[in-house]
Amino acid sequence: MDDHENASTENLAVNIEKRNKTIIQTSIIGIIANFLLAAGKAVAGLIANSIAIVLDAVNNLTDAISSIVTIIGAKLSAKAPNKRFPLGYGRVEYISTLVVAGIVFFAGGTALVESIKKIIHPETPEYSLVTIILIIAAIIVKIGLSIFYRARGKKVKSGALTASGADAFYDAILSSSVLVSAIVFMIWHVSLEAYVGIIIAGFILKAAVEMILDSLTDILGGRPERDLTLKVKEIIMREPEILGAYDLIINNYGTGKNYASVHIELPDNMPVFQVDKITRHVELNVFKETGVILTGVGVYSYNTRDSEAAAMRTAITNKVLEHDWALQVHGFYVDYETKVIRFDVVIHFGIKSKEALEILHKDAEELYPDYDFMIVTDVDISDL
């Protein structure tokens, strides 16, 4: 590893450390704010005999617990790699986001159950001006926390902070519904808080389910971001000798920890020492500009000695792309000595590989019956 790579690695480590520090500081602020809100609302709710305010207090308490979970996740994700986990603990943060989502889901479910109970067994609340002022203050604080969480979450790309920001926003809506219910009761003596609680609980549960699905996508390995894959390929294609970049696979092991492999297409007359030089140059540039570590760079060769291979490539490509499930042809090479043509085809998820291969072999053999074919079907893993 040269000086440039060392510098880039050190910068990445510093950025990750700053990121974790930001997450922890933001979460601590959230913990303090939510504990204070929960305590104040609990007292006000018990005095006013209001199930809505008590549930709002419980919801703030779950937010404080969520922030504690976020801090634990950030601490664990920053642990150094070891023999058991050589790529580090970065994915722990995705699990912490899932835990936060579970807490939000619990809060929504609790609100729904308690609201239904109050419809079946209604109680008369006793709101006062102090109660109204407290609810308004809580709404302002929650809106401020939501903006703060989301801004910090976007800045450091933290799913846990973003999830907490969304939760804080829904808390503000919930508190607003409680405020409206209190005002309606004070003016018209009609209690709506239980019914409003059911509606808000539905929104909270919906947000929790969306957070859970997003977390599972990260844990299971969802499709990499389009902007990132296109950026990596654009950097690779800056090298004039590279005809194409294909089969890009990016595995994420936490924010700032992306490991990838790719195939590049080079002339068939290029010496190995030059291939080595180009691949190392590509690896360094991709890492410096995106933080993605190319752990493997495979090579396809393309014919350079005659124009016949180019014509054959065009004919087969046109034939293959007549099928709507065929997305791309690459890695094309004609071996005149063995009479073998080899190429890869990226296929849509809607067709099975075996079925696609049968059709592709038939098409190719109709065009060039004197040749054997080595065809590989690739999965549509990243944007082309």
CATH of residue 373's domain is 3.30.70.1350
Q: Does residue 143 sit in the same domain as residue 239? A: no
Question: Beta-carbon neighbour count of residue 75 at 10 Å?
Answer: 15
pLDDT on residue 1? 47
Statement to judge: residues 315 and 362 lie in one domain: yes
Query: In which domain, by residue range, is 114 found?
Result: 3-220
Name the CA radius of gyration of the chain, rounded. 29
pLDDT for position 13? 57
On whether the CB atoms of residues 294 and 264 are closer than 8 A, the answer is no
Same domain, 215 and 233: no
Q: Under 8 Å CB-to-CB from 257, ≥6 apart: which residues?
A: 87, 88, 90
Question: Which amino acid makes up residue 32?
Answer: I
320-336 confidence digits (pLDDT tens): 999 999 999 999 999 99
> Residue 24 sits in a domain of what CATH number?
1.20.1510.10
Q: Are residues 50 and 132 in the same domain?
A: yes
Q: Which stretches of the chain score pLDDT less than 70?
A: 1-16, 255-256
Is 79 within a domain?
yes
Q: Report the interhelical angle of 51-77 vs 159-188 (nearest 10°).
A: 170
The answer on 128 and 149 residing in a single domain is yes
344 and 249 in a common domain:
yes
Q: How far is CA 138 from CA 56, 148, 186, in A?
A: 10, 15, 19
Handedness of CA 26, 28, 29, 33 (dihedral sign): positive
Task: Tell me which amino acid residue 56 is.
Answer: D
Strand order in the sheet with 258-267: 244-252, 258-267, 292-302
- How many CB atoms neighbour CB 348 within 10 A? 13
Q: Could you give the CA distance from residue 104 to residue 99 in angstroms, rounded to a whole number?
A: 9
DSSP character string of 281-336: HHHHHHHHHH-EEEEEEEEEEE--S-SHHHHHHHHHHHHHTTSTTEEEEEEEEEET
User: How many domains does the structure of the chain reveal?
Assistant: 2
Same domain, 149 and 268: no
Collapsing DSSP to helix, strand or coil, 127 comes out as: coil
Answer yes or no: do 265 and 194 share one domain.
no
| 254 and 116 together in one domain | no
What pLDDT score does 301 carry?
A: 94
